[in-house]
Amino acid sequence: MDIVYISELKVDTVIGIFDWERAHRQVVILNVELGTDIRAAAEHDDISKTLNYKAVTEALFGFVRDSEFQLIETLAERCAALIMVEFNVPWLRLSITKPGAMRQAKDVGVVIERGTPLSPIPGSRLGNANG
């Protein structure tokens, strides 16, 4: 399986369980790894045959900016569902962090994996004995 990824996407949004958090937007940072197979795109050098990270980034950014969830868990699940449905992604790993939410920590957050990974590419270094 190949991966297209987006690293440290920063978005201002309404998130949190406390009154002050409903009144002041905060930064959340997203990292996403999207399972895919890049071979057709590479063979034809054709953007239409791959997962366009610009399109995914813009969809995620707009969704998170306009959302108003209490929990980062809810935000993570909804982002995962959006990506899997709108972009036909079979597997993803997604993290959301809230930098500065805890004075004592650099950041706090959640990491989720959803869906089923594509089969290993036969002959790849990451494949197992059965390909």
Binding interface with ligand LV4SOB2L (CB under 6 A): 16-18, 21, 71-73, 98, 101
- Tell me the closest approach of the beta carbon of residue 24 to ligand LV4SOB2L, in angstroms: 11
φ and ψ at residue 53, rounded to 5 degrees: -65, -25
Q: Which of 49, 54, 98, 106 is catalytic?
A: 98
Nearer to ligand LV4SOB2L, 18 or 122 (CB): 18
- Tell me the closest approach of the beta carbon of residue 117 to ligand LV4SOB2L, in angstroms: 26
Residue with the CB atom nearest ligand LV4SOB2L in the bound state: 16
Largest CA distance in the chain: 55
Q: Verify whether residue 106 is a known catalytic residue.
A: no
DSSP 8-state secondary structure symbol assigned to residue 119:
P
Give dist(CA 117, CA 2) in Å, integer. Answer: 10
What H or E segment, with its residue span, contains residue 52? none
What H or E segment, with its residue span, contains residue 81? helix 72-86
The catalytic residues are 98
